[in-house]
Structure 1
Amino acid sequence: MPSVRSAVLVAATCLLTSGTVFAQAQTTTQAPAQAATCGGDLSAFLQGVKTDALAKGIPADAIDKALAGAQIDQKVLSRDRAQGVFKQTFLEFSQRTVSQARLDIGRKKIQQLSSTFQRAEQEFGVPAGVIAAFWAMETDFGAVQGDFNTRNALVTLSHDCRRPELFRPQLLALIEMVQHGDLDPATNTGAWAGEIGQVQMLPKDIIAFGVDGDGDNHINVKTSAPDAILTAAKFIQSLGFRKGEPWIQEVSVPENLPWEKSGLGGPLTAGEWFALGVTPRDGNKNFANLPAALVLPQGRKGPTFITYPNFNVYLEWNQSFIYTTSAAYFATRLMGAPVYNKGNPDQGLDDAAMRELQTKLDNMTHDVGKIDGILGSGTRVAVQREQKRLGMAADGWPTRELLDAL
C-alpha cells in the first residue's frame, strides 16, 4: 500500500522553483457551502476544517492562528495538474543526481554530524548513507526546500475536490504543528504539495515520527539538520527498513540467465541468483538467504543490481523506479561503493516510438496504463512478457527490435 507521500508525488526530484501566486477561492455547485468537505466558499470550507480540528482536541486559538489569512494558491493547482514522471533513463538521471560534488558534500555532512547519524543508526537501524542520499536528492542538503507557503498549499489541495481525502488530514496535522509551536503558518514554506523541510516530509509524518535532535524541545525539520536526520530515520524505520541488511547491490551477470525472472518481485533468493552466475561486484554474499530481485534499469547490457527487501522502503518513499534506484545507488556510494559499470545498453526508444510500442501492447490487452511515452512498471512488465513470447531475452528493456517484431 503506497504511503500518502508516494501517492502525492511520483516526481524525479522535489527541488522547486519560484514564488507563490495567491488568488481567489474556487467555487463549485456540488454541495451547499456549509456542508461541503471540499470546494465551495472558502470561508465555509475553513470553518469545516476548524470543526474537525476542534474535534481532535486542538485549541481554538491554535486553529485560528493556523488558518488566519489562508488563501487559495492557483500556482499550487497548476503544479498539481501538470505533474508527471520524467522521461530520463537510469544512466541519465543517476549520473546527473549522483554527482561528485554531492558525494563530497554528503560525506562531509556525515562526518560533521557523525553523532547524529550514529544515533540514527543505533536507535532506528538506518545507516547514514541512506538518510544522506535522500537529504541530497530531495533538497540538496537543505539548500532548496521550496518556496510555496505550506499552509496555503494544503488549504488549496484540501479545498480542491480532486484528492481532498489525501490533503485534509495533512492540513489538520499542520494545525497541530502550529499548536506545538513547531511551525509558523504565515512564513513556513516548502514544496507545492505540502512537504516540509530538509528531507521533504508531510505534516502527518512529522507529527507521527518527529524527533527533537538538537534538544530545543521543538521539531523543526526545516532549519535543524539533527531534527531532520532523526525524523527521517524514524520515518524510514516505520516503512519497514530492516537493520543490518542491504538494500541494493551492484552485480555482474553472465550472458544467459532466466531473464523472465528479473524485475521487482522476482521469485528467487540472492543465493539462487549467485548460483546462476550473478556475481556481486563487492564480493559480499553474506545475505544469500534473503529474497532478491535482479533489476535491470536499462536491460541486461546496462547497469545491473540485485535489490533486497529494504529496497521496498525506497518504493514507499517515491514510486518512480528510476528515482528509487538512483537514490539506493547513491546511498551505497556514500557508504563506499565504487561507481557502477555503465555497460553498453541497447539503444532505447524515443518518445514517439515508445508511444507506438505502448499502443501496440495496449491493443494486445496488456495493461500499460496511460499511453504517455513513459517506461512505467506496466509497460516494463508487458515488454518482458512479449520478449519471452517472441523468444527474446526477457529483460524488460524496450528496443527497436521488439517494436519491429510486434
Structure 2
Amino acid sequence: MLKGKKVLLAVSGGIAAYKACTLTSKLVQVGVEVKVMMSESAKEFVTPLTFQALSRNPVYDWTFHEPDPTKIAHIDLADWADLVMVAPATANVIGKLANGIADDMVTTTLLATKADIYLAPAMNVNMYQHPAVQKNIATLKDYGYSFVEGESGYLACGWTGKGRMAEPESLFEVIEHALLEDVTGSKQPLKGKKVVITAGPTQEKIDPVRYFTNHSTGKMGYAVARAAKQAGAAVTLISGPTQLPEPTGVDVVHVTTAEEMFNAVMSVYPNADIVIKSAAVADYRPKETFDQKRKKQPGQWGVEMERTKDILHTLGERKASQILVGFAAESEHVEDYAMQKLEKKNLDLIVANNITTPGAGFKGDTNIVTILSKDGLTKRYDQQSKDEVASRIIDEIVSYTERNTP
C-alpha cells in the first residue's frame, strides 16, 4: 500500500547519520520512493554515494546544482515530497529552521515544502537541554513540526542521557503510519489541534526511601496519547512515574510530584486546544518531609498531610476556549459523582469508571467506562481494551466539539 509514496529524507551532520542509511533501505524495501538531501557536515559521516546506492536516486547536497534547467531543484523537491523526515536533526538544523534561516540545500527545501515534517533530534544531552535548543524545539512545534523523540542512553560523546536519535525501526513506524493514513483516506479529526494529556500516578516524598503514591500505571493515559496522535493532533503527554515506553511521535514531559505536574500542565495550558486529565494525582502530601531516612522508633508514627493543588479545578477556572476532559475513578455512585465533578470543575466531558469492577480497575489492559458530556449526553461502553477505550474517548471529544461549534 505504500508503493509509490514519496519520502524526502534530510540528513544533517551527526554521528547518527548512519542510522539514516538503515531507514532508507527499509523504506525502499516496501516500495517507498526515497530521495535524500544532505548538509555539508553530513557528508563527513556518510558519503552521498551510500545514499544514492540505497535509494537508487541522486543525492541532493548543493543548492546551486541545477541539472534540469526547467526546474529549481530545491523547490521541485519541496513540492515532490509526501512527507519529510529530518534524521538526524542536529541542534544546528533545528535552530536554523526555528529562525527561518535558509542557507543550504536542506534548509531551503524544508522552508519551502508544504509536506508534513518530522524531526528526529540527535545531539549531546547538554546541548539538548540547553535553553536555546529547547526554545527552538518549542517554536517548531508551534509551527506544526512533529518530533520523534529518542531515548536516554549512552551517547557517542561518552555522556549518558537524552539525545540518542530514535532507532530506524521507530522512524519507519512513524512514516508508515503517516503514509498509510494518507493512502487509506483515514480521517484525522484532530489535525492542527494541540492536545495535552496527563497520565500515571504522582509520588509524594516522605524521606529518601519512602513516598505516598497510588495504583495507577498510566496505561489509560498513554493509550489516549496514542489515539490523539493517530487522530492527527500535536500531543504533549505529561507523565508521572511509569514503566511504559514513550508513545511514538508524542512530546513526553516526565514529572514526579503533584506540584511538578501542576506546573507542567499550567505552562502549556494557554496554547492547548484540548486537555485530557487522566493522571491519578495525589490529593494530599506529607506536610513535613525528611532529607535523611527516618529511623524506626518505639510506638506509632503519624504523618500529617496537606492538600495539593487541584489541577483540574484550576484548569476549569482558567478555561478560555479549551475543551477540558476529566476522569472519575470511583468505587460507588459512579455516574452521580462523575456528574458532580463535571459541573463543579467546569468540564466539557468526563470519563467515569468503577475501579472495583473486574476489567475496569488499575493495572489491567481493559476498561469499562461511561462518558458524560456537558451538553447532557451519556455514553456507556462495555469492557474493551484500553486502546479501544482511548479511541472512543477521542471520538466523543470530536463529536462534542462538532455539536457545540456554531
TM-score if structure 2 supplies the norm length?
Answer: 0.27
Greater fraction helix = 1
